[in-house]
Amino acid sequence: MIELEGVPELIDPVMVAAFEGWNDAGDAASTAVAHLDREWKGEVFAALDAEDYYDFQVNRPTVFLDNGVRKITWPTTRLSVVRVGGEKPRDLVLVRGIEPSMRWRSFCNEILAFAHELGVEMVVILGALLGDTPHTRPVPVSGVTSDPDLARTMDLEETRYEGPTGIVGILQEACTHAGVPAVSLWAAVPHYVSQPPNPKATLALLNRLEDLIGLRIPLGELPEDARAWQVGVDQLAAEDSEVAEYVQTLEEARDTAELPEASGEAIAREFERYLRRREPGTGPGGPGVAMEGGDTPFLRDTGSGRTRPPKPEQPGPEAVPGAEAAETGETAEKPDAPAAPESGAEETPATGSGSADAPDEGSGEGLDAGTEPGPESGDGAEADRDGGDGADGGSDADGRPGSGPGA
């Protein structure tokens, strides 16, 4: 049994997790959790033992100099707590790491042990996929769950996916079997511009997370970064007539599919977010304090008798479509009036092959416009990250990024 020292009693805690690698197209999911950790000043209180879960030839440790002393950062998964103030305070347990190389069941059990010990009420796992979606439109974000009751009460899709899966799918199922409510949020990243970072997809995930857990998330410079990213991709597409024509085709298909939704739930959801951001006292109430006390606590596993300190940080990548359109978050810069998203339709996930299943798994083939990044085709190998980036920048075995969800 895991015992935590120095962690305060949490208020309505929600665990938010993201993993670099196969389920992290454009680094969108891992960057979203990193943003939460940075904005609310989280402090790591525990780290899983890298020796238990990682193949160091796949995810290599890195060496760095600290005041002339050589130190090593090992690939791992870290947990931190952020305390969010305001009229309705709610604490978050952030889980950020790399998709493990082995012992996935033990890995999930260890995370669930933390969730049980901390009294976590719900687990939200973020992911990003490569999809046939134009960069000029709002990023589709789909919410899926294996729990029929949760799907009904929170207006989520009940996953019907069958096929290869990643750690996101395994952890969601482990939560379901353990009786812990779990939701996966998936952002669709354009497969023709899959290189990280993708601030627009990160922003879309944070907006959907904000709706789900009822917290106002400080966005910082993300809206401006998202606009700059889109302008940059616009310029690149304009230089290649074939790419520009392909983007136009995707736009037409997207607009046709989502037109009925443009005046429905998407606008209502955006208006609710607008009101929440204007409502006094709903914000974080200043930077969150992750831990009380100055010392970083240690984790003691009473089963093995080991006491081990937290491991230091590491970065994150990966990419197919979502069913529910999500806003880009650009309205955060326009407090005078609610902005209706360009589209917001609920659609079946566009996997390139027209699959009607939820976007639980996917793979993308980079810049090949005619490919079919269907859910979890299995060609997205685990990211080989050398000290976070990996020698090949998180691409799959043939050098092109690929990913897929699994729930």
Q: Mention every residue, 6+ apart, whose C-beta is less than 8 A from residue 243.
A: 192, 236, 237, 369
| 196: Cα within 13 Å, side-chain hemisphere | 27
Closest CA to 98 of 132, 55, 155: 55
Q: Mention every residue, 6+ apart, whose C-beta is less than 8 A from residue 298.
A: 5, 6, 307, 308, 309, 310
| 271: Cα within 13 Å, side-chain hemisphere | 8
How much is the mean pLDDT over the chain? 73
Token code pair at residue 347 = 């659609």
Per-range mean pLDDT, top range of 117-131, 274-288, 345-359: 117-131
pLDDT of residue 251: 84
Residue 2: strand pairing partners: 301
Closest CA to 5 of 207, 353, 279, 292: 292
- Is residue 123 over pLDDT 70? yes
> What's the full length of the chain, in residues?
407
Query: Residue 30: helix, strand or coil by DSSP?
Result: helix
Q: Which residue has the higher pLDDT, 72 or 356?
A: 72
Type of residue numbered 288: G
- Is residue 222 over pLDDT 90? yes
Cis peptide before 197 (omega within 30 of 0): yes
Per-residue pLDDT tens over the stretch 45-80: 999 999 999 999 999 999 999 999 999 999 999 999
Token code pair at residue 242 = 């074939």
Token code pair at residue 212 = 């789900």
Q: Tell me, what DSSP letter sits at residue 324?
A: B
Residues above pLDDT 90, as percent of the chain: 43
Q: Tell me, what DSSP letter sits at residue 153?
A: H
pLDDT of residue 215: 87
Type of residue numbered 262: A
Under 8 Å between Cβ of 228 and 203: no
Burial of 17 (0-12, 13-18, 19+ CB in 10 A): buried
> Residue 255: pLDDT band by 50, 70, 90 thresholds?
confident
Closest CA to 92 of 201, 19, 212, 10: 10
Query: Residue 260: helix, strand or coil by DSSP?
Result: helix
> Residue 3: pLDDT band by 50, 70, 90 thresholds?
low
The answer to whether the predicted template modeling score (pTM) of the entire model surpasses 0.75 is no
What is the rounded average pLDDT of the residues 289-316?
39
Q: Mention every residue, 6+ apart, whose C-beta is less than 8 A from residue 171.
A: 17, 108, 111, 123, 125, 182
> Residue 324: pLDDT band by 50, 70, 90 thresholds?
very low
> Residue 130: pLDDT band by 50, 70, 90 thresholds?
very high
> Residue 381: pLDDT band by 50, 70, 90 thresholds?
very low
